């Protein structure tokens, strides 16, 4: 009976996802419709698409378990940073300007934005290559959190889980494009909101309630981490410096990730941006704050885990599944669907970003000189299937043979992408003096530095920067310094071209319209 309930919920969930993909085929007949939903996506769908692309199984199973174990309840700061820096400030600072300038430049991807903003095809191709190299391992990592949860709930082979998830995600993305992804993201986001709330309540109840759980955390000690009493339920935890690195990487990083920023391209109006900002922030507070808060109580379940060199069961990925293993059947089924939702939504966003970037920024005009709309959409669809297949194979290889390089490369992918793109993109939206040379320096510095972190040469780096988390945060901060400094000492773009580009922000509107993007059709 228990297995029947779990399977029934999964079948309904998968059926709904595929049905939405088939329904949205009419929105995916041209490039603008397939990649951006016709730039007519409302605030709720955009906000949920942003949030569900942000938080995957990597956060729920991996990061929540790892950082909750290391920092205790203070890991909740990472969730708060995700909400207020990664969501609220990202929408407020980047949202409107991204939407206005990308429409003005007629750019559908981040590399295309760089190419047109700085009049450089080489810059566009380089950005496209960086995205291709670093998004693939990140995509493969999305499957990692599923293995332990499915083993706990169904005792199903990991490869079967990966293949089923990949095939079903591929069906609705290939059929319906961005609109199918956005609608499914909304449904998956609702599941994540209710799921994480129910799981937190159940886990805390199993420990006697919130106050009792906090008291138990005050009694937890680990001499290898800190000798201070009650450090795991303290305000900043046992290691505030490294915790700050986590907050910066996972929060500020969204400002430079192509799959995140591209959500702003598709929103339909200025008022929708303001609404989406509020919705996205609340979503992040509940989901991200809830995940890290839940992980912060992981040490209360240490009696159910074998601690190997300070790591539970040899992997932090086992913390959250262990915490959930004693829950009722219905809650375990909800957790499985929650993690599937988080993984499928992020997977769909990543493969759509990768395939559209490779098609529009690399193949079109470079490999194939002339591509009409139908050929472009067909190429994107084919590449969606290719990217999903590659990520699935990498995930299974990593699991079967314990290949560590893939996991290591995934660990630096977020830092490399955000470090390379964040500063050039943000300054490019706001500052006319931003130069092409500064973009090149930012691209090269971050990608080389993050690859250095996983090479044998990392021993020459300061101990603090040998961690991919801290290294990624460092690259982002350095980018914010590098771009303005290099721009001041390198040739500025042509004034006539800059005036033409930034004219989009000076569009005259009437009092009745109050909207320089489009109408709300209210």
Residue 195, pLDDT > 90, answer: no
- Give dist(CA 41, CA 19) in Å, integer: 19
User: For residue 408, what pLDDT band results from cuts at 50, 70 and 90?
Assistant: low
Phi-psi region of 196 (alpha: psi -120 to 50; beta: other; left: phi over 0): alpha
| pLDDT given at position 33 | 85
Give the C-alpha separation, 28 to 37, whole Å: 7
- Say which range, 48-62, 86-100, 197-211, has the weakest mean pLDDT: 48-62
pLDDT digits (tens, 9 = 90+) for 390-404: 888 888 887 777 655
β-bridge partners, 311: 308
Q: What is the pLDDT of residue 445?
A: 97
Residues paired with 267 in a beta bridge: 41
Q: Assign 322 a pLDDT band (cuts: 50, 70, 90).
A: confident
| Best mean pLDDT range from 191-195, 201-205, 302-306, 421-425 | 421-425
Report which secondary-structure segment, H or E, holds 215. Answer: helix 210-218
Tens of pLDDT, residue by residue over 220-259, are 888 888 888 889 988 899 999 999 988 998 899 899 999 8
Confidence of residue 416 (pLDDT cuts 50, 70, 90): very high
Question: What's this model's pTM, rounded to 2 decimal places?
Answer: 0.88
What band does 517 get if pLDDT is binned at 50, 70 and 90?
low
Residue 71 pLDDT class (50, 70, 90 cuts): very high
Across 460-470, average pLDDT: 88
Q: Is the dihedral of CA 176, 179, 181, 185 positive or negative?
A: negative
> Where is pLDDT greater, at 113 or 168?
113
The yes/no answer on whether domain 2-24+37-506 falls in CATH 1.10.3720.10 is no
Confidence category of residue 102, pLDDT binned at 50, 70, 90: very high
Helix (H) or strand (E) holding 312: strand 311-312
The confidence band for 366, taking pLDDT boundaries of 50, 70 and 90, is confident
Q: CA separation (Å) from 56 to 76, 192, 297, 465, 474?
A: 17, 10, 20, 25, 23
Predicted confidence at residue 113, as pLDDT, reads 95
Q: Is the pLDDT of residue 337 over 90?
A: no
431: left (phi over 0), alpha (psi -120 to 50) or beta: beta
Residue 510 has what pLDDT? 41
Q: What is the mean pLDDT of the chain?
A: 86
- The string of pLDDT tens digits covering residues 129-170 is 999 888 887 887 777 666 666 666 666 777 888 888 889 889
Residues in the chain: 522
């Amino acid at each position: 009976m228990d297995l029947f309930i779990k399977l029934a919920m999964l079948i309904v969930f998968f059926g709904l996802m595929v049905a939405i993909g088939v329904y949205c085929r009419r929105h995916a007949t041209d490039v603008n419709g397939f990649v951006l939903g016709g730039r007519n996506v409302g605030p709720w769908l955009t906000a949920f698409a942003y949030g569900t692309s942000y938080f995957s199984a990597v956060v729920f199973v991996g990061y929540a378990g790892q950082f909750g174990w290391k920092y205790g309840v203070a890991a909740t700061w990472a969730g708060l940073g995700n909400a207020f820096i990664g969501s609220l400030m990202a929408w407020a600072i980047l949202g409107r300007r991204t939407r206005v300038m990308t429409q003005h430049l007629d750019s559908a991807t981040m590399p295309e934005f760089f190419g047109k903003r700085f009049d450089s095809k080489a810059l566009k191709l380089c950005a496209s290559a960086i995205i291709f190299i670093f998004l693939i391992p990140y995509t493969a990592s999305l499957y990692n959190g599923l293995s332990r949860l499915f083993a706990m709930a169904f005792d199903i082979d990991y490869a079967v889980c990966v293949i089923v998830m990949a095939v079903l995600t591929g069906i609705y993305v290939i059929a319906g494009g961005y609109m199918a992804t956005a609608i499914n993201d909304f449904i998956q986001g609702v599941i994540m909101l209710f799921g994480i709330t129910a799981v937190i309540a159940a886990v805390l109840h199993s420990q006697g309630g919130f106050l009792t759980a906090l008291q138990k955390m005050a009694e937890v000690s680990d001499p290898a981490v800190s000798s201070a009493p009650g450090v795991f339920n303290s305000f900043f935890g046992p290691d505030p410096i490294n915790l700050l690195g986590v907050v910066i990487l996972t929060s500020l990083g969204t400002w430079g990730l192509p799959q995140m920023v591209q959500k702003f391209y598709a929103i339909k109006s200025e008022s929708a941006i303001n609404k989406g900002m509020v919705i996205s922030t609340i979503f992040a507070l509940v989901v991200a704050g809830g995940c890290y808060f839940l992980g912060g109580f992981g040490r209360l379940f240490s009696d159910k885990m074998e601690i190997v060199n300070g790591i539970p069961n040899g992997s932090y990925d086992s913390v959250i599944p262990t915490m959930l293993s004693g829950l009722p059947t219905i809650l375990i089924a909800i957790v499985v669907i929650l993690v599937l939702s988080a993984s499928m939504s992020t997977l769909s966003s990543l493969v759509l970003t990768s395939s559209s970037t490779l098609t529009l920024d690399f193949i079109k005009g470079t490999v194939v000189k002339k591509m009409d709309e139908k050929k472009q959409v067909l190429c994107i669809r084919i590449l969606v299937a290719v990217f999903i297949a590659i990520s699935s194979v990498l995930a299974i290889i990593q699991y079967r043979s314990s290949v560590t390089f893939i996991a290591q490369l995934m660990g630096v992918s977020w830092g490399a992408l955000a470090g390379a793109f964040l500063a050039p993109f943000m300054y490019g939206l706001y500052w006319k003096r931003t130069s092409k040379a500064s973009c090149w320096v930012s691209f090269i510095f971050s990608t080389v530095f993050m690859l250095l972190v996983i090479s044998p040469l990392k021993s020459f780096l300061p101990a603090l920067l040998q961690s991919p988390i801290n290294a990624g945060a460092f690259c982002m901060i350095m980018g914010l310094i590098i771009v303005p400094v290099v721009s001041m000492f390198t040739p500025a773009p042509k004034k006539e071209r800059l005036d033409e580009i930034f004219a989009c922000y000076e569009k005259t509107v009437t009092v009745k319209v109050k909207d320089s993007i489009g109408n709300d059709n209210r």
